[in-house]
Structure 1
Amino acid sequence: MLKTFLKIFVELTGNPFMSRQLMTVTKSGWSRKMIPLFANVYKVNQEEMAVPLSEYTSLQHFFTRSLKPGTRSVKGDENTFVSPVDGVVNAFGLISDVTDYTVKNKQIVLEEMLGSGEKADKYKNGMYIIFYLSPRHYHRIHSPVTGKIMANWTLGGKSYPVNHFGIKYGNRPLSTNFRTITEIKSTQNNVAVVKVGALNVNSVHLTHPGETIQQGEELAYFSFGSTVILLIENENFQISSALCEGKEIKYGEKIGFISH
């Protein structure tokens, strides 16, 4: 019952007023009293946190926490992709295997998600991987490759929940929610990192200032749990054999490679 209440508190509907109220609450100083409760209910790994639980000043500060230096190691090279987040693998596969380039029972429509058919066509022979971040996960997003940031763009208005019920009953939240897309060109291909918001406030914050980015380097963070979708252009990209739906993964772990 307690966990259900907390999930309702964090994973709200798309009502703009309620979303703003939640943001106000989580930024407030008194919300820090709820941090131990969240950490306990969601079984947050406190050993990985950059500072002790008592030093977080609000729920939002806790949600956007950093990790201790050296907590993660990046296990990739120029031919390898690594996970951009800590989360759960929701789905993955060939984009060309799904009708009209849709996945998850039409919950993602590439043309709609990226903003144009021209952008979507670039990825039609590639792969997709969907990662879900729950309230217990580390909320910072890292680059899966080393490369040049070609563009950042933002689409969408309202943001509905991206949990199981939101995906099942919502109006295509993964392709219509507020979202920020970062396109990175590596030595092998283009990759679109789609960061899907979960509230009617800007819960996606870009943090990387330059044009070039190293594999594993921080790209952005979520104020709240949500979803990251990777679209990988190269048809020679191979998903790691260790990847499976429902798998817990941490950023820096290998998710696939370019075969030659």
Structure 2
Amino acid sequence: MTVRGLIAALTQQENLNFLLTNRIPRAALTRFMGWFSRIENPVVRDMSIACWRLFSELDLSEARKTSFKSLHDCFVRELRPGLRPVDPDPAVVVSPCDAIIGAHGRIEETELFQIKGAPYSLLDLLGDPALVEQHRNGRFITLRLMSSMYHRFHAPHDFRIERVTFVHGDVWNVNPIALKRVERLFCRNERAVIQTRLATGEALTLVPVAAILVASLRLHFLDLTLNAQSRGPTVFPCDTSVRKGDELGWFEHGSTIIVLAPDHFEFCDNVVDSARIKAGQPLMRRPAARTVRTS
């Protein structure tokens, strides 16, 4: 058995996986990783990337650069132009990121789930009763980024960003093993609630959620990096229009984005549990155009 195979076999043992990735000083390790990943030393960089390859299916063949200053530089790498074409259909909402499709479906009143049998509430996730009402009985989808994936995320449709709320919290792992064991995990972790509105007035909300080693989120449109030093909840008013496919920011490692949409949106045929999806590919479809009155 290869080293990678042995590591995979060990980490698939649920008790061991949960112990190694959660029953440790999560916040301290995350802060350390944030510092360590930025060391610009060729030996540290090369050993770190080699170790990363042991634990994941890291593929740098799509990267725009062929060399990196640091581990962090590799984490937030750009891709070569043209590798993530955006579906041009104006009725289609695309995936904001490369991801594995997790829990998705209809929001039952104000309840959704992180995995089957593990519900949580919109109010606990968003913290804003008015925004909760906009998504009551709507649609949701959970997009999980693996550590080896492309970590930048993009606008899933043309919209206007109205507000960002940063919520300070924990940094539990967000893998399926932790989602089965930690109740309301997404509501416990650090996260940003990005409120947007389509030209038709429909609300589309993105919730990037941090995880262990991943408590830093870069948002270009605010020229901010939100992390453990950003105490929350903190509200950042915004009035920025973006086009479908525009880069919004990046995670400093990998994590999760929850997308909330109106009830009349429909999931596209490629949205299947555990399927892989790439940024720019169809995610949801808006039916015949409608205008929502806002006030």
Instruction: Summarize deviations over 1:90-120 as a string: whole Å, max 9, x none.
Output: 0211113xx6413133453210110122221
> Is the 8 Å Cα contact of residues 83 and 252 (structure 1) preserved in structure 2?
yes
What is the root-mean-square deviation of aligned Cα atoms in Å?
2.4
Distance 1:211 1:225 in 2: 25
Q: What residue is the counterpart of 2:271 in the other structure? A: 243
Q: CA deviation at 1:172?
A: 1.9
Q: What residue is the counterpart of 1:42 in the other structure? A: 56
Q: What residue is the counterpart of 1:163 in the other structure? A: 175
Distance 2:110 2:162 in 1: 26
Q: What residue is the counterpart of 2:217 in the other structure? A: 204
Distance 1:70 1:171 in 2: 40
Q: CA deviation at 1:41?
A: 4.7
1:214 is aligned to 2:243: yes
Q: What residue is the counterpart of 2:232 in the other structure? A: none
Q: CA deviation at 1:26?
A: 1.9
1:128 alignment partner, one of 140, 144, 152: 140
> Which shows bigger deviation, 240-249 or 29-38?
29-38
Q: What residue is the counterpart of 1:140 in the other structure? A: 152
Q: What residue is the counterpart of 2:165 in the other structure? A: 153
Q: How many residues align?
A: 254
2:280 alignment partner, one of 247, 252, 259: 252
Correspondence 1:75-94 to 2 at 5 A: 75-94=87-106
Distance 2:65 2:50 in 1: 14
Show structure 1 runs of 5+ residues with no match.
none
1:24 alignment partner, one of 22, 35, 44: 35
Distance 1:121 1:163 in 2: 29
Q: What residue is the counterpart of 2:187 in the other structure? A: 175
Q: What residue is the counterpart of 2:231 in the other structure? A: none
Instruction: Summarize deviations over 1:216-257 as a string: whole Å, max 9, x none.
Output: 111121112110000002x22111022100110000001121
Instruction: Summarize deviations over 1:15-47 as a string: whole Å, max 9, x none.
Output: 322221222222223143221342465223322
> Is the 8 Å Cα contact of residues 106 and 112 (structure 2) preserved in structure 1?
no
Q: Which amino acid aligns with 1:258?
A: R
> Which shows bigger deviation, 205-214 or 73-82?
205-214
Q: Sort the Cα spacing of 1:73 and 1:100 in 2 relative to 1 into closer, same or farther, 3 A.
A: closer
Q: Sort the Cα spacing of 1:136 and 1:11 in 2 relative to 1 into closer, same or farther, 3 A.
A: farther
> Is the 8 Å Cα contact of residues 195 and 227 (structure 1) preserved in structure 2?
yes
Q: What residue is the counterpart of 1:116 in the other structure? A: 128
Instruction: Summarize deviations over 1:162-206 as a string: whole Å, max 9, x none.
Output: 012221122422122100111111123111110000137742111
> Is the 8 Å Cα contact of residues 118 and 184 (structure 2) preserved in structure 1?
yes
Q: Sort the Cα spacing of 1:200 and 1:158 in 2 relative to 1 into closer, same or farther, 3 A.
A: farther
TM-score by length of structure 1 reads 0.88
Q: What residue is the counterpart of 1:191 in the other structure? A: 204
1:67 is aligned to 2:92: no
> Is the 8 Å Cα contact of residues 79 and 258 (structure 1) preserved in structure 2?
yes
Q: What residue is the counterpart of 2:291 in the other structure? A: none
Distance 1:14 1:250 in 2: 32
Distance 1:200 1:135 in 2: 10
Q: What residue is the counterpart of 1:101 in the other structure? A: 111
- SS state of the match for residue 162, structure 1? coil
> Which shows bigger deviation, 166-175 or 40-49?
40-49
Show structure 2 runs of 5+ residues with no match.
1-5, 12-16, 223-238, 289-295
Q: Which amino acid aligns with 1:45?
A: D
